Structure 1
Amino acid sequence: MDKKAKLDTAFLGQPRGLSTLFFTEMWERFSYYGMRAILIFYMILAVKDGGLGFDQTTAASVMSIYGSLVYMSGVIGGWLSDRIWGSRKTVFIGGVLIMLGHISLSIPGGSAALFASIAFIVAGTGLLKPNVSEMVGGLYSETDRRRDAGFSLFVFGINFGAAVAPILVPWASDGFGMNLFGGHINYHAGFALAAIGMFFGLLQYYFDGKKYLPSESNYPKDPIERENMKSIIIWTVIAIVALVAVVGLLGAMGNLNIDSIIWLITVIAIALPIIYFVTMLNSRKVEKVEKSRVWAYIPLFVAAAMFWGIEESGSSILALFAANRTVLHLGGWHFQAANFQLLNPLFIMILTPVFVVIWSKWKNQPSAPGKFAAGLVIAGLSYVFIAMPGLLYGTSGRVSPLWLVGSWFIVEIAEMLISPIGLSLTTKLAPKAFTAQMMSMWFLSNSAGQAINAQIVKFYTPGTEVQYFLAVGGASVVLGIILFFFVKPIHKLMAGIN
């Protein structure tokens, strides 16, 4: 890196290119979390009132499988960047697809517009999210001490966009939308605001990217060689034909509906990581020590999937709890059910610096498997906590919003023990021949957790509220306790990795 590049401190002491990526990802998260804050309410709103008229169970299941697909698609996005387009072009294409997804929802097109939007946003997020983070790393040399601070700033941008969106997008639907559309809630106004947010992100990215992003990001890191192209095309065609055949079979049997498609995606989300693990454990490229580390990663993957199933329920189960069971005011302060979605990024921003200090000061801190076990127990307790108002007061009335705030705070403590630790551990345990694929495995843990969630949310009803929270929360606590007993064996399998 030349002298001029080393002295690039134009953005809060960081390279100017970080500003480009900071605001690109901030707007992308604004658009995604804004859409996510109101989508379930749009789905369950009666058709006569401008919604889709889904029952609450179907809507919650769709939200979960939607999240599963978003994290699943990152596997393809990383591959396309590394082998075909390069990260800069891949991110831009992803942003365009995301914007088209929000535009689809902003137009009153019924269920067809919803599913078109899901397809666009799933594909776009898969292209954008894994590659924009990789580009941040490309702004720094290996010896640049600003790297960690730069990533911290980048993560702040992500959470800032995610925190502001659940305030502004619901306002656009319930406030601005009602004034503009004759006193009726108009969720399309909110989706339009999400599209505008992504548009601003694309403008910033396109024009600033030419000036401030590394030229290397224009090219794939591992371009496909001609002799390999034929086999890639063949396997892609086989996968597409198999998927079409399964869908066609469901149609021929008269079972082609939302529920069957959700089941199909659930099976794929569970099968993908299994295939990855089997491939790594049977690969000749993976040495004996590396295979031991892969075996150590498997129980941690299962634990992560359990955690994400609970943590990601904020846009489905907890959103329904906010709308149906929560008093939507605190004293004279009134708010909307969708506003609770800001609690996730807000608590992450508050807790992250606290845990950074804890991990830097705590000399004899638990091992990574121990942190996972503790995180699972705490995540389960967040569900036990939200079951308490139903146990104490019954499930027919509304309760204080502080119950939801408390539950979210507890689960975000668990996230501090699992999410950053899991990311770090994934890079450490990855076999050399599967470094990129192993990072995909971390995202697949979220995908698998949400896919399973898409099935179990069907058991959530007003009548089963207490049982549901206690059963899922209790399962997480029990799994965490079991994991505590296997901390030492797992740590031994990690073969020198802490």
Structure 2
Amino acid sequence: MREQGMESWARARERTFFGHPRGLATLFGTEMWERFSYYGMRAILVLFLTAPPVRGGMGLSGVTAVGVYGVYIASVYLLALAGGWISDRVLGPRRAVLYGGSVIMAGHVSMAVPVGGGFVWLGLTLIALGSGMMKPNISAMVGDLYRHEDDARRDSGYSVFYMGVNVGAFAGIQVVPWLQRGDRWHLAFGAAAVGMAFGLLQYVLGRRHLKGAGEHPEHRLTPEERARFVRVALPSGGAAVVAMVLWAATGALTLDRFTIVLTVLSAAVPAAYFAFLFMGTHEITPRERTRLVAYLWLFISAAIFWMIYDQAGGALTLFAQQRTDLNILGFDVPPGWVSNVNSIAIIILAPLFAKIWIKAGDRFGTPLKFAVALVLIGLSFVVMAMAADAASAGPKVSIMWLISVYLVQTLGELFISPVGLSVTNKLAPQAFVNQMMGVWFLAVALGDSVGGQAYRLTGVVPMPWYYLILALVAVVAGFVMLACTRRLSRLMGD
């Protein structure tokens, strides 16, 4: 009796984090620092790539820089599928997050070395590899904290977690571009490395609060599967290296062509993976396969959303630098700071949306949330088209145009991003839980890579029409989702 009383007292005394499990604080803090490093570096990446060598930059054209930016961001999320597989079959989410964060930090350190372009490309590669390992698995562990709880509470937990993403993004976008002023590019990249180091420290110190979440692989490879994987992976990797060497030897390898190839890869990988899920595996039940049909619609919607949203670090940053009056009360705002409107708005609104989803319960379903998000992101580029038209007719435009764009996009983001993580956790087949978190990020990869290549349209159409074309795609997709809401909800089992 005494032991039972002590256990009840201990449960009553257990600390929570905004009313959620204490382990959420560990994952919140780790993701916050990782996003500090990621968004801080992202805020200056296109500016660094386009800056002339005399200013310490890479001297690329705007179209090439945006293309590189798009496929780099896409690679971060494209590799999440491999990271989810490694977690499911080999390491488990907990170790995958630790190893991935360490590789990310090494990538930022490489970019901080001021000795030439080679370390920049190495750094971007390492950051993409580490992020692919970390991103899906830390998100999966959040869901694991709510394994025995209802959808609304899990949605709320993901919204709180998403607030950590934006606290880190806000801090990174404030600190890194400020350090970069005066062309101190590599000092700024070094600050991103320090941020990731803090994230790793916080993760190691707080792992005891996770209470078993992500401790072991869901479906560890058998010895036979491991041997088969080695037989396939080694020849495939070697063939890819040989192909790259031969491509470079012919003189046909250029940054523009390489980004196009990676864009095609970003589309081919999710197509092949969904084909595998629907036709190539026997580990999925008929009920799970039905739910995957609904998820495929959500996946395509998310890709369209991110195609527009993640142009913040590319097209919108260049617009801020070249066509926006950034002087406010005598202070010149760094171009990278403007996108922080998004982070500030999410920090304010995310707790409110977390409460709204709990109160709304199942009355406001996931397909409807996605439809609203698509319409909002489309409307944001209608505003952007008006800003581009005003800029083409006269001097630089007011910063209020970009602020308005980011505020509309923030509302759309809150309808889709934390909800997308939650619905992926809900609809994932049991045998592919962590991999499906990687599949969610494949939608981001597809949207980002296509968005980076879409910027090439600016060479043949006026800038206002460029924004209007993308806006039309998103709004039409939003109304299609709206028309299919009830059918998709039935497929999901809601």
Superposition pairs of residues 309-458 of structure 1, within 5 angstroms: 309-332=307-330, 334-362=332-360, 365=363, 367-392=365-390, 394=392, 397-458=395-456
Deviation, structure 1 residue 137? 5.1
The corresponding residue for 2:301 is 303
315-324 vs 250-259, which deviates more? 250-259
Output the amino acid matched with 2:101.
G
1:234-282 per-position Cα deviation (integer Å, ceiling 9, x unaligned): 2212431342344245335432121222122112211111112212222
Matches within 5 A, 1:207-222: 207-209=205-207, 212-214=209-211, 219-222=216-219
The answer as to whether partners of 2:288 and 2:427 remain within 8 angstroms in 1 is yes
Aligned residue in 1 for 2:175: 168
Alignment of 1:181-260 (within 5 A): 184-209=182-207, 212-214=209-211, 219-260=216-257
Distance 2:78 2:419 in 1: 20
Q: Which residue is equivalent to 1:57?
A: 63
Q: Which amino acid aligns with 2:493?
A: I
Once the 2 structures are TM-superposed, how far is the Cα of residue 475 of structure 1 from its aligned partner? 1.7
Query: Match for 1:234: what amino acid?
Result: R
In structure 2, the partner of 1:177 is none
Which residue number in structure 2 is paired with residue 78 of structure 1? Answer: 84
Greater displacement, 211-220 / 47-56 = 211-220
One-letter code of the match for 2:456? Answer: K
The equivalent of 1:497 in structure 2 is 493
Q: How does 1:146-157 map to 2 (within 5 A)?
A: 151-157=158-164
CA distance in 2, matches of 1:86, 1:480: 37
Mapped contact 2:136–2:437 kept (Cα < 8 A)? no
2:105 partner letter: M
* Alignment match of 1:294 (pick from 292, 317, 342): 292
Determine whether 1:130 maps to 2:126. no
Q: Secondary structure at the match of 2:395?
A: coil
CA distance in 2, matches of 1:426, 1:18: 18
User: Contact 2:163/2:350 (CA < 8 Å) preserved in 1?
Assistant: no
Q: Are the counterparts in 2 of residues 93 and 124 from structure 1 also a CA contact under 8 Å?
A: yes
Q: Is the 8 A contact 1:326 1:401 kept in 2?
A: yes
Segment drifting more, 7-16 vs 451-460: 7-16
C-alpha distance in 2 between matches for 1:368 and 1:23: 27
Match of 2:106 in 1: 100
Task: Indicate how the Cα distance of structure 1 residues 89 and 252 shifts in structure 2: closer, same or farther if over 3 A, else same.
Answer: same
Paired residue secondary structure (1:399)? coil
- Residue 56 of structure 1, CA deviation: 1.1
Taking the aligned partners of 2:351 and 2:302, their CA distance within structure 1 comes to 22
- Mapped to 1, the partners of 2:200 and 2:388 lie a distance apart of 45
Deviates more, 1:461-470 or 1:314-323: 461-470
- Cα deviation for residue 126 of structure 1 reads 1.6
Deviations 1:291-342 (A, max 9, x none): 3332333232211111011111111111111111111033455421110132
Q: Which amino acid aligns with 1:344?
A: N
Post-superposition offset of 1:430:
3.3
CA change 1:193–1:363 in 2 (3 A) is closer
1:156, CA displacement in angstroms? 2.7
Instruction: Pick one of 139, 142, 148 that aligns with 1:142.
Output: 148
- Displacement of 1:16: 5.7
Per-residue CA deviations over 1:193-218 (Å, capped at 9, x if unaligned) read: 11111222223333454x55546755
Measured in 2, the distance between the counterparts of 1:20 and 1:477 equals 38
Alpha-carbon distance change, 423 to 201 in structure 1, aligned in 2, over 3 angstroms: closer
Mapping of 1:468-487 within 5 angstroms?
A: 468-487=466-485
Change (3 A) 1:5 1:194: farther
In structure 2, do the counterparts of structure 1 residues 5 and 154 end up closer, same or farther at CA, with 3 Å as the change threshold? farther
In structure 2, C-alpha distance between the alignment counterparts of 1:485 and 1:134, rounded to whole Å: 31
Could you tell me which residue of structure 2 aligns to residue 279 of structure 1?
A: 276
The 3-state SS of whatever aligns with 2:339 is helix
Aligned residues: 486
1:161 is aligned with what amino acid?
G
Query: TM-score, normalised on structure 2?
Result: 0.89
Q: Which runs of 5+ in 2 are unaligned?
A: none
Deviation digits for residues 451-470 of structure 1, max 9, x if unmatched?
A: 11121122236972111111
User: Match for residue 180 of structure 1?
Assistant: none
Q: CA deviation at 1:32?
A: 1.0
Q: Is the Cα–Cα contact under 8 Å of residues 34 and 194 in structure 1 kept in the other structure?
A: yes
State the partner residue of 2:126: 120
- How far did residue 101 of structure 1 move? 1.0
Amino acid at match of 2:251: G
| 1:27-65 per-position Cα deviation (integer Å, ceiling 9, x unaligned) | 211111111111111111110111111111111111111
3-state DSSP class of the match of 1:255?
coil
Gapped runs of 5+ residues in structure 1? 175-183
Match of 2:45 in 1: 39
Matched letter for residue 322 of structure 1: A
CA distance in structure 1 between the aligned counterparts of 2:222 and 2:112, rounded to whole angstroms: 42
Aligned partner of 2:336: which letter?
A
Q: Counterparts of 1:87 and 1:314 in 2: how far apart (Å)?
A: 30
**CA gap 1:113/1:227 in 2 versus in 1, 3 angstroms:** same
In structure 2, relative to structure 1, the CA distance for the partners of 1:284 and 1:301 (3 Å cut) is same
Query: 1:219 deviation in Å?
Result: 4.1
User: What is the distance in 1 between the residues matched to 2:73 and 2:322?
Assistant: 22
1:266 aligns with 2:263: yes
Identify if the C-alpha distance between structure 1 residues 47 and 394 changes in structure 2 by more than 3 Å, giving closer, same or farther.
Answer: same
**Contact 1:273-1:441 at 8 Å conserved across structures:** yes
Aligned twin of 2:116 = 110
Shift of 1:109: 2.8
Change (3 A) 1:395 1:81: farther
TM-score, normalised by the number of residues in structure 1 = 0.88
- Encode CA deviations 1:148-205: one digit per residue, 9 max, x unaligned: 776554433222111111111111121xxxxxxxxx4211111111111122222333
Judging changes above 3 Å, is the alpha-carbon distance between structure 1 residues 86 and 484 closer, same or farther for their aligned structure 2 residues?
closer
When residues 151 and 273 of structure 1 are mapped into structure 2, their CA distance, relative to the original with a 3 A threshold, is closer
Please, which moves more after superposition, 235-244 or 32-41? 235-244
- SS of equivalent residue, structure 1 residue 460: helix
Q: How far apart, in 2, do the equivalents of 1:280 and 1:429 lie?
A: 13
Amino acid at match of 1:255: A
- Per the alignment, do residues 396 and 465 of structure 1 end up closer, same or farther by CA in structure 2, a change over 3 Å counting? farther
Q: Percent same amino acid among aligned pairs?
A: 36
- Quick check: 243-252 or 322-331, which moved more? 243-252
